[in-house]
Amino acid sequence: MEQIIKVRFSANGQHPELDLDPRTTLLDALREHLRLTGVKKGCDHGQCGACTVLVNGQRINSCLSLAVMHEGDDIATIETEDSAIIAALQDAFIEHDGFQCGYCTPGQICSAAGMLDEIRRGVPSHVTKLLGEETIQITDAEVRERMSGNICRCAAYPNIVRAIMQAAGAVP
Amino acid sequence: MKAFIYTRARDSAQATNAAADGKTTKFIAGGTNLLDLMKLQVEMPEQLVDINRIGLDKIEETPEGGLKIGAMVRNAALATDLRVRTRYEALSRALLSGASAQLRNKATTGGNLLQRTRCYYFYDTTKPCNKRSPGSGCAALGGFNRIHAILGASEHCIATHPSDMAVAMRLLDATVETVKADGSTRTIPIATLHKLPGDTPDQETVLARDELITSVTLPPPPPGRQIYRKVRDRASYAFALVSVAAIIDQSGRSRMAFGGLAPKPWRVEAADQQTDPDAIADHVLQGAAGYGANDFKIPLARRVIRAVLRDIKG
């Protein structure tokens, strides 16, 4: 028996209403139903980070979430036009050559946007020395640890870190 | 992914009632492990009950001076809570050492406890696995078993429990609160939540099919400095080969719990009486046995115990 579920969420400011097989992942809903093909399918198992999007401002792997679980949510992908930090990260990735093939880049940039917000909100990481302190310094080590959920097969990591550090400084 | 019926629950009563209706049912919270397994057809529930809108997402002080953590509190939120960071540092550190930031934003407290093993053969449906397919055999016994158990395993299954969070909760003697469809509730010490594999490795916990974890309660923290040390093949985003959550007080007395060694968070209370690192290791590793590629975990665990005690004394 095939079930079809009506789901409505916001995606980059659009408000589509979709009739979906509940098996549809958020990733497939964005790419195949809304044609937001900026978000990429890499491993489809949450290991590579290419599918990273922002849901209500938080980064998640869109491949490991069902679209029907996102009723009413606010979703931003690399195509969003109303995020100053995503725009700044795009410029910085170009300036610092933060990619070769570019397939992981949309996920890297959405992940970096979520990551910088996490630092602003005082979310600690594995490399944060003192957990009791609410203010976290943005360092190379923090960026590397916090971006470990995004794999770059071309190994552009040094330039990705530089691009993120520049964008972090450019947007308050 | 096999087709399933999707149900969105408004509260825990609706969720547990849906799970009691006879269909094979899974509750879905973060979904980060369950959907992964459903794509591979390792998990094939007839029904998914979405519990993302049932609440249970608060962290509250208990009258005893501990914390009651709602089952739906996300791993990132739990690790970030200042009360957890300052009073239960081992738990915060354990959470931050696990998975990736994207996964921690979705994964929940209840789901983390119930995540399945990362044994390669459990994931590979072309291979025998007694946990996935009871009676089919264990491919890990004579296969690649670098990540497998040295304690608590059986001839039927040598898989480990992959959670970091659960190791810290075991150290802290957390309790797990649940509710069933008939409305009955119970409190389960975390030490008895997970079962050893024996000859039924497919049965991993004591929970009934309609039983939902509602919260995890931490008693007041024992005195002493808390740490979590994780040894793994990669510096980030990798499961533990050996991990230890420890509390060490000023007199040098310690208590420890271990990850990466066994089918459940491993703790040997008798070792608390010892202060010498090797004596502690002797107690913890009593009965330890490797299966070839994981033999190294026995000396590695011993060295990690030594390192943790040395580091904390400065």
CATH number at residue A146: 1.10.150.120
Predicted confidence band of residue A172 (pLDDT cuts 50, 70, 90): low
Contact across the interface for B35 and A59, Cβ inside 8 Å:
no
Same-domain status, A160 and A136: yes
Q: Is residue A20 a part of any domain in this protein?
A: yes
Does residue A129 sit at the B interface (CB-CB below 8 Å)?
no
Residue of B nearest to A59 (CA): B102
Q: Is residue A93 a part of any domain in this protein?
A: yes
Q: Is A93 helix (H, G, I), strand (E, B) or coil?
A: helix
Cα–Cα distance list, B141 to A104, B11, B242 (Å): 37, 43, 19
Same-domain status, A55 and A13: yes
DSSP one-letter code for A166: H
Q: Is residue A21 a part of any domain in this protein?
A: yes
Does residue A105 sit at the B interface (CB-CB below 8 Å)?
no
H or E, element range at B257 = strand B254-259
Question: pLDDT above 70 covers what percent of chain A?
Answer: 99
What phi and psi, each to the nearest 5 degrees, are found at residue B294? -105, 10
Same-domain status, A91 and A141: yes
- Of A76, A102, A128, the residue at which a domain comes to its end is A76
Residue range A60-82: mean pLDDT, rounded: 97
For B228-284, write each residue's pLDDT tens digit. Answer: 999 999 999 999 999 999 999 998 899 999 999 999 999 999 999 999 999 999 999
3-state helix, strand, coil in chain B (%, to 5): 30, 20, 50
Report DSSP letters for B166-203, one per residue. Answer: HHHHHHTT-EEEEE-TTS-EEEEEHHHHBPP-TT-TT-
> What is the distance in angstroms between the CA of the first residue and the CA of the last residue of chain B?
52
Same-domain status, A90 and A50: no
- Of A76, A95, A120, the residue at which a domain comes to its end is A76
Same-domain status, A101 and A39: no
Counting every residue written for chain A, the total comes to 172
Q: Is residue A153 a part of any domain in this protein?
A: yes
Say whether pLDDT at A135 is over 80: yes
H or E, element range at B228 = strand B225-231
Mean pLDDT for back-to-back runs of 10 residues, chain B (314 residues):
97 97 95 98 98 98 98 98 98 98 98 98 98 98 97 98 98 98 98 98 98 98 96 97 96 95 98 96 98 98 96 77
Q: Is residue A105 a part of any domain in this protein?
A: yes
Nearest partner of B73 among B100, B99, B103, B110, judged by Cα: B110
Predicted confidence band of residue A134 (pLDDT cuts 50, 70, 90): confident
3-state helix, strand, coil in chain A (%, to 5): 35, 15, 50
B261 close to B297: Cβ distance less than 8 angstroms: yes
Q: Is residue A149 a part of any domain in this protein?
A: yes
Task: Enumerate residues 6+ apart whose C-beta is below 8 A from B257.
Answer: B167, B168, B170, B171, B244, B245, B246, B265, B266, B267
Q: Which chain B residues contact residue A49 at CB under 8 A?
A: 100, 102
Domain residues for the domain of A137 are 84-167
Q: How many domains does chain A have?
A: 2
B19 close to A29: Cβ distance less than 8 angstroms: no
Residues 36-75 of B with CB under 8 A from A: 36, 39, 48, 50, 52
Q: Which chain A residues contact residue B86 at CB under 8 A?
A: 131-132
Does residue A64 sit at the B interface (CB-CB below 8 Å)?
yes
What does the block give as tokens for A120? 């602003």
Residue of B nearest to A124 (CA): B80
Q: Is residue A126 a part of any domain in this protein?
A: yes
Same-domain status, A114 and A157: yes
Does residue A166 sit at the B interface (CB-CB below 8 Å)?
no
- The ipTM of this complex is 0.98
Measured between alpha carbons, how far is B100 from B235 in angstroms, rounded to an integer? 12
Prediction pTM value: 0.98
Same-domain status, A113 and A140: yes
B94 close to B167: Cβ distance less than 8 angstroms: yes
Given this model, what pLDDT does residue B314 score?
64
Same-domain status, A163 and A92: yes
Same-domain status, A62 and A20: yes
Same-domain status, A115 and A67: no
Measured between alpha carbons, how far is B232 from A146 in angstroms, rounded to an integer? 17
Q: Is residue A172 a part of any domain in this protein?
A: no
Measured between alpha carbons, how far is B176 from A23 in angstroms, rounded to an integer? 31
Average pLDDT over chain B reads: 97
Same-domain status, A99 and A133: yes
- Of A76, A92, A125, the residue at which a domain comes to its end is A76
Phi-psi region of A156 (alpha: psi -120 to 50; beta: other; left: phi over 0): alpha
Return the exposure string of B183-196: e unless at least 16 CB atoms fall within 10 Å of the residue's CB, then b. Answer: eeeeebebbebbeb
Same-domain status, A17 and A57: yes
CATH of the domain at A70: 3.10.20.30
Does residue A41 sit at the B interface (CB-CB below 8 Å)?
no
What does the block give as tokens for A1? 């028996």
Residues 141-160 of A with CB under 8 A from B: 144-150
For A45-57, write each residue's pLDDT tens digit. Answer: 999 999 999 999 9
